[in-house]
Structure 1
Amino acid sequence: MRRWRFLVTAAVLLLAASFVFEARGIEKISPDPKGVALVDELVKALSIADADARVKALLPLVHKSLLSRDGKDLDWNVKDYSYKKAWQNVKFYKQPVEIHEVHKGNVFTIGFRETAERGRGDKYFIKKKEGINGMPAPISIFWPENGGDPKVIDMGSL
């Protein structure tokens, strides 16, 4: 019985310690001007009233893995979920955007086959308008390893 209690206590302590160390692993960095400009353009594009014009304005801002095969529209998974949530909620965020903080991400590969690309994904947290409750929303920005322009890889947390 004592041994069982010891093992359970040790497991709980190890689990708690892993959460503490994971939280410490978030590295906050200063916003890159290119990233801020991209997030600002994203918020402007999401604010366009006409649906077709809105999508057309978004296409050059998002990573190619979020586009349809022909590149002329957003992939249906993106359009039905993260894009839909983002354009419905963009009205709650400041324009021009104000960056609350930036979390430096890990290096990874995004996409598949012809859309595959290696780089780093950072989260730019944008502030809400005055009087609107809630936490700042993360917009995930992909920085290609080859030095290309940054692209949005997730906007669904607006």
Structure 2
Amino acid sequence: MSLVDAAAYSIHLLFAGLWTGTVLFVAWGILPLGLNGDIRPDPLGFAVSRLTTVSRVSALVLLLSGGHMAGTTYTVESLFGSQRGHLVLAMVALWFVLAALVETGAARMRRGLDAEKVRTPAHDGKPFLYAASVVALLLLLDAGLLASGVTF
């Protein structure tokens, strides 16, 4: 493995962990505070803003690093014709779903936060951020299967 390949794998793993961890923390650590009215609009807005930034930056970094890894590891035939390739394709699909859910949930929350509300924006973003947390866990499971080399 070359130094560039090792860097791509490391960066990919770091940003995947950052993104999934941020989604899980906001969904299960911050969002309940908004649902209960136990947080003010500014801190909740800050958390939503950071979630959006982490999501966008991570999506770009993962596209670039994952594209490099896929381009140096797989052929079209191995991506579509092997179990590992299917896991990689599932991961790509899940990343797109995660990005869409985070963007949608954050946008719905920003509208209410701009009006200095907390419970309504948290309620509006809840289904999307909870779904995003499930997708984040599925991504980690997929990554674990890829890392273990398991075949089924």
Q: Please state which band the TM-score falls in when normalised by the shorter chain.
A: under 0.3
* Greater strand share, structure number: 1
Higher helix share: 2
Structure possessing the higher radius of gyration over alpha carbons: 1
Which of the pair has the greater relative contact order for Cα pairs under 8 Å at 6+ separation?
A: 2
TM-score (norm 1): 0.26
